[in-house]
């Protein structure tokens, strides 16, 4: 099965979510960053992105049943005192949908519509049927700093990943790994996508340029190899591994699953990830971007 319709819907949903997030990042103030119960940050872009993806997938695919496993929930948004924040999210979603020509004549959304769209992400998934898995803003800390982040979406069918789409709005269209500020380039904004068995591709997140196939690096000279690691405190074992392999270049630190995208197109040869002691791993630490690393 080719999943062409599902892939087209996913690309449209993720592209619109990227459009919304780019607008938020440009005007984000620290006072607009909330802290969740697990002490991780969340912004209007996280909620708005999740609502948008939910709405677009349902409109485009009109499934008999719709299962979305996503990160955000509306508990805090429904509490008294959140009205202004919620109104802002609703406006973001409405304005972004209105910017898409095919949705120009759609009925206007209410705040409750947006809340319900976010709550569509409460599915528990499972090993049977169709399940979408979404990280609406992966790398929120990088997003808040104005750096790298990603919007990641995957489709699981009978427990297997069959397609993945990931937008990296601040990732340059041409490799810039190793440069100090990768978000300072003019030509930025990548949309990566892959269908199982058909390779991985990239195209600009905005515009109509033809997709280009991505391939992992063929560099076998470890002394020249570039390796990526997460934008956390340095992890000693990473330096130890690099030394044993003979890698002389300093690691490039980057937030989000944009690292997977960078490796998939040959920007770097290695991505090291060893969990810090006490760090709680979740599905969002690994999915859905890992399918993108299969581009050969």
Region label for 158, one of left (φ > 0), alpha (ψ between -120 and 50) or beta (otherwise): left
Sequence ranges of the domains in the chain? 4-215
Confirm whether pTM is higher than 0.75.
yes
Instruction: Report how far apart, in Å, the C-alpha atoms of 259 and of each of 65, 110, 139, 186, 213 are.
Output: 33, 36, 11, 20, 17
Rounded distance between C-alpha atoms, residue 27 and residue 33, angstroms = 12
Rounded distance between C-alpha atoms, residue 249 and residue 205, angstroms = 30
Q: One of 46, 135, 255, 267 is an active-site residue; which one? A: 46
List pLDDT tens digits, range 235-251. 777 778 888 888 877 77
Query: For residue 128, what pLDDT band results from cuts at 50, 70 and 90?
Result: very high
Which helix (H) or strand (E) is 189 found in, with range? strand 188-195
* 140 tagged catalytic: yes
What contacts 120, CB < 8 A, 6 or more positions away? 54, 58, 66, 68, 70
- Ranking 21-35, 99-113, 131-145, 278-292 by mean pLDDT, the lowest is 278-292
Query: For residue 227, what pLDDT band results from cuts at 50, 70 and 90?
Result: confident
Question: Average pLDDT, whole number, for the chain?
Answer: 86
Higher pLDDT, 294 or 222: 222
Higher pLDDT, 29 or 85: 85
Query: For residue 232, what pLDDT band results from cuts at 50, 70 and 90?
Result: low
Rounded distance between C-alpha atoms, residue 196 and residue 277, angstroms = 34
| Of residues 260, 272, 261, 266, the one with CA closest to residue 232 | 272
Whole-number pLDDT of residue 104: 85
5, pLDDT greater than 70: yes
List beta partners, residue 70.
134
List beta partners, residue 188.
172
Region label for 211, one of left (φ > 0), alpha (ψ between -120 and 50) or beta (otherwise): beta
Whole-number pLDDT of residue 189: 95
CATH of 4-215, one of 3.40.50.450, 3.30.540.10, 3.40.50.11820, 3.20.20.70: 3.30.540.10
Mean pLDDT of 157-170: 96
Using a 10 angstrom Cβ sphere, with 0-12 exposed, 13-18 middle and 19 or more buried, the burial of residue 79 is exposed
Using a 10 angstrom Cβ sphere, with 0-12 exposed, 13-18 middle and 19 or more buried, the burial of residue 196 is middle
* 46 tagged catalytic: yes
Q: One of 43, 90, 96, 140 is an active-site residue; which one? A: 140
Q: Are 75 and 140 contacting, i.e. CB atoms less than 8 angstroms apart?
A: no
Whole-number pLDDT of residue 276: 55
- Ranking 167-171, 208-212, 253-257, 279-283 by mean pLDDT, the lowest is 279-283
| Of residues 258, 262, 268, 181, the one with CA closest to residue 218 | 268
284, pLDDT greater than 80: no
216, pLDDT greater than 90: no
| Of residues 181, 177, 142, the one with CA closest to residue 250 | 177
């Amino acid at each position: 099965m080719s999943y062409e319709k599902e892939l087209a819907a996913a690309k449209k949903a993720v592209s619109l979510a990227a459009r919304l997030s780019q607008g938020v990042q440009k005007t984000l103030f620290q006072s607009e960053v909330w802290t969740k119960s697990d002490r991780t940050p969340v912004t209007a872009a996280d909620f708005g992105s999740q609502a948008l993806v939910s709405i677009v997938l349902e409109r485009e695919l009109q499934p008999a049943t719709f299962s979305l496993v996503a990160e955000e929930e509306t508990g805090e948004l429904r509490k008294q005192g959140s009205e202004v924040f919620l109104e802002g999210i609703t406006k973001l979603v409405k304005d972004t949908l209105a910017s898409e020509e095919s949705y120009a004549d759609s009925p206007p959304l209410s705040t409750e519509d947006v809340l319900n769209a976010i709550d569509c992400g409460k599915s528990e998934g499972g090993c049977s049927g169709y399940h979408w898995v979404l990280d609406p803003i992966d790398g929120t800390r990088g997003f808040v700093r104005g750096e790298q982040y990603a919007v990641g979406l995957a489709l699981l069918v009978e427990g297997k990943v069959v397609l993945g789409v990931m937008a990296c709005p601040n990732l340059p269209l041409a490799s810039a790994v190793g440069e100090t500020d990768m978000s300072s380039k003019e030509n930025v904004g990548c949309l990566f996508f892959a269908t199982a068995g058909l390779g991985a591709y990239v195209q600009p997140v905005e515009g109509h340029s033809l997709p280009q196939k991505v391939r992992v690096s063929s560099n076998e000279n470890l002394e020249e190899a570039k390796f990526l690691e997460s934008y956390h405190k340095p992890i000693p074992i990473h330096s130890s591994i690099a030394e044993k392999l003979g890698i002389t270049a300093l690691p490039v630190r980057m937030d989000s699953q944009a690292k997977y995208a960078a490796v998939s197109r040959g920007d770097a040869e290695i991505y090291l990830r060893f969990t810090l002691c006490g760090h709680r791993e979740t599905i969002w630490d690994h999915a859905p971007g890992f399918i993108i690393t299969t581009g050969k």
